[in-house]
Amino acid sequence: MKYRNVLVSLGIIVFILVSCTPVVAPTPTPVPVPTIHPVSPVTGLPEGSDGYPWWNDTVFYEIFVRSFYDSDGDGIGDFNGIIEKLDYLNDGDPATHQDLGITGIWLMPINPSPSYHGYDVTNYQAVNPEYGTMEDFKRLVDECHARSIRVIIDLVLNHTSSRHAWFVAAQDPASPYRDYYIWAETRPEYYGPWGQNVWYRRPSGYYYALFWEHMPDLNYANPQVTLSMENAIAFWLTETGVDGFRLDAARHLIEDGADQENTPATHLWYGGFRLFYKNLNPAAVTVGEIWDDTGSVSEYIQGDELDLAFEFNLAEAFIASANQGNAYSATGQVRLSYRLLPDLQFATFLTNHDIDRVYSQLGADPDKARVAASLLLTAPGVPFIYYGEELGMQGTGAHENIRRPMQWSAERTAGFSTDFPWISLGPDWETNNVASETADPDSLLSHYRMLIQLRNDHAALRVGDLRTITTLNPGVYSILRVSQEEAVMVIINLTSEPVSDYRLTLENSALVSGTYLALPLLGTGTFTDLTALTSGGFSNYIPLEEIPPYATIILQLQIK
């Protein structure tokens, strides 16, 4: 690996020197239309409950390959490192409970890139050599599938690296790649959505780059760009067996002058995109990064565009309620998300690689972190966990600080590598790590494992409908989830004090009228029966005399 890194570095130096010389335009070559060869379903992977797609039965885990586990001692995580740690994520045996229990993985960009993060791609049909070979990656996908773990990868559709061969050629106005990007002879008089400069000068004109001068935006008004991306999509679905894509910067795909987000042309393009990838693999999933309000998110999943989109407003609400000890934010937003985003087709999370880590936002308070996890993993939608979130990893400020090495143990380099990691370790790695938390039943890791296991075991927590329950106490959050065969009630005390002055009331639900036993799936105590009215509602129900501080109670309701 070390010799390969030297060769890669020399290659980058040569490429930079070449890119500074006058560009000779390549001979125009039309991009071939991809041949459609539908993908056969992977035998043994779950299909979905109650008629929902497989992803509604999935708990995803976001991995930054560079920071997960280094298998060859060069300080950089790699594909083989993930393979070595798969048993931590899911050992493939439902009867064991020492693994985390996740059933999906999202890999941040794995393509070649000059940047550590990979979001400026230089080749859409190759892997970053620092992470391993294409054969290593294919083996990772196979090993995941053998454990009933599906794999999705980041697809950076919006822009390329300025070192991509397309952009190097595009600087010549006569090049067939010129129209792969957005150019202007004089600088347009407008800025980006958050007031940033988006126009950068080269000798042959100004080019548009929404995020950074070294990430020039692709021009999807040019059909050749779409065909090039379809070739890449076909490669990953048919040649490697990935199960779908996370779409970076999805709302910024096509600009209309100064209108640079959520344009009609963007929505129209995703309609055609969906037809293409569903023809290749009807079971493939797309989840869009739509960093916007819930109403805007809904526009991407109401029709035939994306399968899922991340619900940022709900993530913020969960953290706010956990921080404030008040259910108002979480209750209001989960109800709104459920109403506006159809059929549970939205992705839930707490934080990701662009946001200060949740443990840091919660003041490194393990009790608050536990209730935040409970809010996430009992909610409707498809949950995503950012690697290390289950341990209490911390990180704020610069993105590099949020993407530090996984904390495996209290050994040197936190058990991540035998060499110095590519970046320093985060705070509290000697205590907040897999080894120290695995055997502790009260650890944050144990709490995540228990919640994921319950979600995997109970369809109501995955695909049940939602009713928010009035609690008459701002410190108590409560919901009812009812699937075709099961009803589950969730009660979370968000405060540091025991709560006894609460009464649960619900106007209507899918419960049939009658008396229900309240059987604890999580939590201890003597629980009283619930009486459901003709409407399926109930009034002034007190299942437990006192709810302990920061307690999560999950009750299965069984009619007598």
Q: What is the pLDDT of residues 116-143, one digit of tens each?
A: 999 999 999 999 999 999 999 999 999 9
Mean pLDDT of the chain: 92
* Position 19 pLDDT exceeds 60: no
Name the percent of the chain lying above pLDDT 70: 92
Report the distance separating Cα 181 and Cα 171, nearest Å: 10
pLDDT band at 8 (very low <50, low <70, confident <90, very high): very low
pLDDT band of residue 231 (cuts 50, 70, 90) is very high
Say whether pLDDT at 449 is over 80: yes
Q: What is the pTM of this model?
A: 0.92
By the 10 Å C-beta count (0-12 exposed, 13-18 middle, 19+ buried), 43 is classed as exposed
95: confidence class by pLDDT, cuts 50, 70, 90: confident
**Mean pLDDT, rounded, for 204-218:** 97
Whether 14 shows a pLDDT value over 90: the answer reads no
Residues assigned a catalytic role? 248, 289
- Indicate the Cα dihedral angle 329, 331, 332, 338, nearest 10°: 130
H or E stretch at 283: none
Q: What is the pLDDT of residue 9?
A: 39
Q: How confident is the model at residue 45 (pLDDT cuts 50, 70, 90)?
A: confident
pLDDT tens per residue, range 167-191? 999 999 999 999 999 999 999 999 9
CA distances from 479 to 319, 384, 404 (A): 17, 20, 35
What would the mean pLDDT of 216-242 be, rounded to a whole number? 97
Show the tokens assigned to 154: 């980041």
What is the model's pLDDT at position 35?
52
Calculate the alpha carbon distances from 304 to 275, 301, 307 in Å: 8, 7, 8
Q: How far apart are CA 140 and CA 129, in angstroms?
A: 15
Domain coordinates in residue numbering, the chain: 1-30+159-217, 31-155+222-460, 464-559
Tell me if the domain spanning 464-559 has CATH number 2.60.40.1180: yes
Query: What are the tokens at 434?
Result: 């897999």
Residues 6+ apart with CB under 8 A from 91: 98, 99, 147
Mean pLDDT of 6-18: 35
pLDDT band, residue 39 (cuts 50/70/90): low
Query: Would you state the pLDDT for residue 27?
Result: 40
| Residue at 161: amino acid letter | S
Predicted pLDDT at 23: 34
Domain covering 1-30+159-217 in this structure, CATH number? 3.90.400.10
- The larger pLDDT score, comparing residue 38 to residue 274, is at 274
- Tell me the chain's radius of gyration from C-alpha atoms: 25
Q: What pLDDT sits at residue 38?
A: 60
Residue 268 near residue 315, CB atoms below 8 Å: no
Structure confidence at residue 17 (pLDDT)? 33
User: CATH code for 31-155+222-460?
Assistant: 3.20.20.80
For the cut 50, the answer to whether the pLDDT of residue 12 exceeds it is no
Residues 319 and 283: beta-carbon distance below 8 Å: no
Give pLDDT tens digits for 483-538. Answer: 999 999 999 999 999 999 999 999 999 999 999 999 999 999 999 999 999 999 99
